[in-house]
Structure 1
Amino acid sequence: GYPEPEQLRAMTKIGNISDKGEMEKETEGSEFLETLFLNDDSRDLIVQTWGGTNTTARALKSIEEQYKDTAEWDTIRKKVSDKLVLYIILDQDDSYNEYIAKNWPDIRILNDQSNFWHFAYAWKMHAEEVNSKLHGDWMVKNILNGHGKLMDMYASMGDGKMIEGELAEEQRGSAEYLKNNPQYDKYDFISEGDSPSFFYLIDNGLRSMEDPSYGGWGGRFGVVNDKLFRNNVLDYDPYTKRYEAEYSLMRWFDDVQDDFAARADWAVADTYEGANHNPSLTIKEGVDLSVSPGEEVTLHAEGKDPDGDQLTYTWWRYFEADTYEDSKVTPNKVQPEMAGDLQLGLHRELAKDEQVDTIKLQGSDTEAVTFTVPDDAKSGDTLHIVAEVQDDGEHQLKHYQRVILTVK
Structure 2
Amino acid sequence: MNSMIRFMLYSNEVDLEGIVLTSSTYHFAGNEKKGIEPYRWTGTEWIYDFIDKYEQVYSNLKIHADGYPAPDYLRNKTKIGNITNVGAMEKKTEGSRFLKKLFLDNDPRKLYVQTWGGTNTTARALKSIEEEYKNTERWKEIQKTINQKLVIYIILDQDDSYKNYIAKKWPEIQIINDRSNFWHFAYAWKLHSPEVNRFLQGDWLYKNIKNNHGPLMEEYALMGDGNYIEGELFEEQRGTDKYLEKNPQYNRYDFISEGDSPSFLYLVKNGLRSMEDPTYGGWGGRFSVVNENLWKNDVLDYNPHSKRYEAEYTLMRWFDDLQRDFAARADWSVTDSYEKANHHPEISVKEGIDLKADPGETITLHAVAEDPDDDHLSFNWWHYAEADSYREAKTEKNKKVYNRNSGLLFSITREVKEDEIIDNIELQNEETKTVSFTVPKGAESGDTIHIIGEVIDDGEIKLKDYQRVIITVR
Which bracket does the TM-score occupy, shorter chain normalised? over 0.9
Amino acid at match of 1:282: S
SS at match of 2:348: strand
Name which of 182, 186, 191 aligns with 1:125: 191
**Change over 3 Å in CA distance of 1:246–1:117 after alignment to 2:** same
Query: 2:99 matched to 1:33?
Result: yes
SS at match of 2:79: coil
Shift of 1:103: 0.4
Q: Is the 8 A contact 1:338 1:345 kept in 2?
A: no
Name which of 241, 255, 269 aligns with 1:175: 241
- The 10-residue stretch of structure 1 (326-335 or 311-320) with the greater mean CA deviation from structure 2: 326-335
Q: CA RMSD in A?
A: 1.5
Once the two structures are superposed, what CA deviation does each residue of 1:239-289 show, in whole Å capped at 9, x if it has no partner?
110100000000000000001001101101111112111111110000000
SS at match of 2:386: coil
Shift of 1:138: 0.3
1:56-71 → structure 2 map (5 Å cutoff) = 56-71=122-137
Separation in 1 of the partners of 2:404 and 2:323? 29
Shift of 1:43: 0.3
Name which of 376, 398, 407 aligns with 2:464: 398
Name which of 423, 444, 458 aligns with 1:357: 423
1:261-340 → structure 2 map (5 Å cutoff) = 261-325=327-391, 333-334=399-400, 336-337=402-403
- In the alignment, which residue of structure 1 is the partner of 2:307? 241
Q: Is the 8 A contact 1:330 1:351 kept in 2?
A: no
- In the alignment, which residue of structure 2 is the partner of 1:366? 432
Once the two structures are superposed, what CA deviation does each residue of 1:114-139 show, in whole Å capped at 9, x if it has no partner?
00000000000000000000000000
Separation in 2 of the partners of 1:46 and 1:327? 31
Once the two structures are superposed, what CA deviation does each residue of 1:72-99 show, in whole Å capped at 9, x if it has no partner?
0000011011000000000000000000
- In the alignment, which residue of structure 2 is the partner of 1:107? 173
Separation in 2 of the partners of 1:3 and 1:265? 18
Separation in 1 of the partners of 2:299 and 2:393? 19
Once the two structures are superposed, what CA deviation does each residue of 1:1-56 show, in whole Å capped at 9, x if it has no partner?
24343321111001101101001111111111111100010100000000110000
Separation in 2 of the partners of 1:278 and 1:110? 28
1:139-178 → structure 2 map (5 Å cutoff) = 139-178=205-244
Once the two structures are superposed, what CA deviation does each residue of 1:382-408 show, in whole Å capped at 9, x if it has no partner?
000000100001311000000000000
Separation in 2 of the partners of 1:122 and 1:248? 15
1:44-55 → structure 2 map (5 Å cutoff) = 44-55=110-121
Q: Is the 8 A contact 2:298 2:403 kept in 1?
A: no
Shift of 1:352: 2.3
Separation in 1 of the partners of 2:113 and 2:387? 25
Once the two structures are superposed, what CA deviation does each residue of 1:180-212 show, in whole Å capped at 9, x if it has no partner?
111111000100000000100111000000000
Separation in 2 of the partners of 1:179 and 1:385? 47
Amino acid at match of 1:233: V
Q: Is the 8 A contact 1:329 1:357 kept in 2?
A: no
Q: Is the 8 A contact 1:337 1:347 kept in 2?
A: no
SS at match of 2:391: coil
Name which of 157, 162, 187 aligns with 2:253: 187
Q: Is the 8 A contact 2:386 2:392 kept in 1?
A: no
Separation in 2 of the partners of 1:349 and 1:88? 28
Separation in 1 of the partners of 2:440 and 2:95? 53
SS at match of 1:236: strand
**Change over 3 Å in CA distance of 1:331–1:290 after alignment to 2:** farther
- In the alignment, which residue of structure 1 is the partner of 2:109? 43
**Stretches of structure 2 lacking an aligned partner (at least 5 in a row):** 1-61, 63-67
Shift of 1:307: 0.7
Query: 2:139 matched to 1:80?
Result: no
SS at match of 2:117: coil
**Stretches of structure 1 lacking an aligned partner (at least 5 in a row):** none
SS at match of 2:276: coil
Name which of 264, 267, 272 aligns with 1:198: 264
* Alignment TM-score, normalising by the size of structure 2: 0.84
**Change over 3 Å in CA distance of 1:355–1:73 after alignment to 2:** same
Amino-acid identity (%): 64
Amino acid at match of 2:95: G
Separation in 2 of the partners of 1:330 and 1:303? 37
SS at match of 1:289: strand
**Change over 3 Å in CA distance of 1:404–1:341 after alignment to 2:** closer
Separation in 2 of the partners of 1:176 and 1:341? 33
Amino acid at match of 2:381: W
Separation in 1 of the partners of 2:113 and 2:395? 37
Shift of 1:351: 1.0
Higher helix share: 2
Separation in 1 of the partners of 2:326 and 2:392? 36
SS at match of 2:177: strand
Separation in 2 of the partners of 1:121 and 1:161? 17
SS at match of 1:255: helix
Amino acid at match of 2:96: S
